[in-house]
Amino acid sequence: MSEEPRIGVFICHCGGNISDVVDVEKVREAASKMPGVVVAETNRYMCSKTGLDLIKDSVKKHRLNRVVEASCTPRMHLTTFRRAVSDAGLNPYLLDMVNIREHCSWVHTDKDAATEKAIAIVRGSVMRARDLEPLQPEYKPVERSVMVVGGGVSGIFASLELANKGYQVYLVERKPSIGGKMMQLSKTFPTLDCSTCIGAPRMVEVGQHPNIKIITLAEPVKVSGSPGNYEVTLRIKPRYVDVSNCSSCGECAKKCPMKRVPNEHEAGLAYRTAIYLPFPQAIPQAYVIDPGHCLFFQKGTCKVCAKACSRGAINFDEKERLETIKVGAIVLATGIDVMDPSPLKEYSYGLHPDIVTNLQFERLLLGGMLRPSDKKVPKKVAFILCVGSRSPERGQPYCSKVCCMIALKQAFLLKEFHAESEPWIFYTDMRAAGKWYEEFYTRCREHGIKFVRGRVAEAKPNDGLITLRAEDTLLGAQIEENFDLVVLSTALLPSAGTKEVGQLVGMDTGPDGFLLEKHYKLEPVDGAWTGVYAAGCALGPKDVRESVVEAMSAASRASTFLGGGKIEVSPEKAFVFEDLCDGCGVCVQPCPKNAIVISDGKAVVNPVSCIGCGICVPVCPKQALDLKHNTEKQLLASIYGVSQSNVKPLIIAFTEKVVGYRAADMYGLDRRKYSPNIVIIEVPTTRRVGLRHVLHAFAAGADGVVFVEAEDNWYGLSKEEGLKQFRGHVSQIQRDLRKYGIDAARAMAVAVTLPQYYKLEIFDTVVNRVKGAKPITDEVRAKIKGVLSN
Binding site for other proteins (CB under 8 A): 346, 386, 390-395, 428-429, 453-458, 469-473, 476-478
Tell me which long-range contacts 417-421 makes (C-beta under 8 A, separation of at least 24).
Answer: 417/365, 417/369, 417/377, 418/369, 418/377, 418/379, 420/379, 421/377, 421/378, 421/379, 421/380, 421/381
- Is the distance from CB of 140 to CB of 119 less than 8 angstroms? no
Residue closer to other proteins by CB (options 11, 385) is: 385
Q: How far is the CB of 488 from other proteins (least distance, A)?
A: 14
In Å, how far are 96, 640, 688, 692, 699 from 126, measured between CA atoms?
Answer: 8, 11, 21, 22, 20
Q: How far is the CB of 476 from other proteins (least distance, A)?
A: 5
SS3 of 372-406: CCCCCCCCEEEEEEEECCCCCCCCCCCCCCCHHHH
**Position 697: which residue type?**
A
Residue among 154 and 396 whose Cβ is closer to other proteins: 396
Answer positive or negative: Cα dihedral of 151, 152, 156, 158: negative
Shortest distance in whole angstroms from residue 465 CB to other proteins: 18
| Other residues' Cβ atoms within 10 Å of the Cβ of residue 365 | 18
Closer residue to other proteins (CB): 393 or 779: 393
Find the shortest distance in angstroms from Cβ 454 to other proteins. Answer: 4
Residue 498 · residue 513 · CB < 8 Å: yes
CA angle 147, 151, 155 (to 5 degrees): 60
Whichever of 152 and 454 has its CB closer to other proteins, that residue is 454
**Helix H or strand E segment including 337:** strand 336-338
Give the distance between the most distant pair of CA atoms in the chain. 95
- In the complex, the smallest distance separating the C-beta of residue 452 from other proteins, rounded to whole angstroms, is 9
Q: Least distance in Å: CB of 479 to other proteins?
A: 8
Based on CB atoms, which residue is closest to other proteins, 386 or 587?
A: 386
Rank residues 358 and 498 by Cβ distance to other proteins and give the closer one.
358
Q: Which is nearer to other proteins, 520 or 758 (CB)?
A: 758
Alpha-carbon span 696 to 693, nearest angstrom: 5
Q: Given the complex with other proteins, which of 250 and 461 has the nearer CB atom?
A: 461
Q: How far is the CB of 395 from other proteins (least distance, A)?
A: 7
Residue 107 vs 452, nearer CB to other proteins: 452
Question: Up-side HSE of residue 682: CA atoms within 13 Å toward CB?
Answer: 21
Q: Which is nearer to other proteins, 147 or 468 (CB)?
A: 468
CB 105 within 8 A of CB 133: no
DSSP string, 418-446: -TT-EEEEEESS----STTHHHHHHHHHH
Comparison of 473 and 731: residue with beta carbon closer to other proteins: 473
The amino acid at 312: G
- Quote the least distance from Cβ 470 to other proteins, whole Å: 4
Report the candidate in 376, 373, 369 with the shortest Cα–Cα distance to residue 410.
369
Contact status, residue 561 vs residue 143, Cβ threshold 8 Å? no
Rg for the chain, CA atoms, rounded: 31
CB of 719 to other proteins, least distance (A): 32
In whole angstroms, what is the distance from residue 778 CA to residue 776 CA?
7
When the beta carbons of 410 and 428 are compared against other proteins, the nearer one is: 428
DSSP string, 628-692: TTS-HHHHHHHHHHHHT-SSSS-EEEEEETTHHHHHHHHHHHTT----TTEEEEEESSGGG--HH
Closest CA to 156 of 235, 209, 220: 209
Q: How far apart are CA 506 and CA 334, in angstroms?
A: 15
Are the C-beta atoms of residues 457 and 327 closer than 8 Å to each other?
Answer: no
Give the nearer residue to other proteins in terms of CB position, either 349 or 440: 349
Distance of CA 411 to the CA centre of its chain: 37
Q: Is residue 544 within 8 Å of residue 181, measured between CB atoms?
A: no
Q: Please, what is the minimum distance in Å from the beta carbon of residue 337 to other proteins?
A: 20
Nearest distance in Å: CB 344, other proteins: 9
Q: Would you give the DSSP letter of residue 464?
A: T
Query: What is the C-alpha separation between 743 and 770, in angstroms, rounded?
Result: 10
282 versus 385: smaller Cβ distance to other proteins: 385
Q: Which is nearer to other proteins, 318 or 481 (CB)?
A: 481
Contact criterion met (CB below 8 Å) for 276 and 253: yes
CB of 200 to other proteins, least distance (A): 38
Measured from the CB of residue 342, what is the shortest distance to other proteins in angstroms? 15
For other proteins, give the closer residue by CB, 59 or 487.
487
Q: How far is the CB of 427 from other proteins (least distance, A)?
A: 9
Closest separation between CB of residue 455 and other proteins, Å? 4
C-alpha–C-alpha distance, residues 762 and 770, integer Å? 12
Nearer to other proteins, 224 or 462 (CB): 462
Smallest separation, CB 340 to other proteins (Å): 17
Task: Return d(Cα 681, Cα 699) in angstroms, integer.
Answer: 17
Min dist CB 393 to other proteins, Å, is 4
**Taking the complex as a whole, how short is the minimal distance between the CB of residue 423 and other proteins, in angstroms?**
19
Nearest one of 207, 208, 241, 216 to 311, comparing CA atoms: 241
Phi, psi of 223 (to 5 degrees): -130, 125
Residue closer to other proteins (CB basis): 8 or 454: 454
Picking from 472, 383, 388, the residue whose alpha carbon sits closest to that of residue 424 is 383
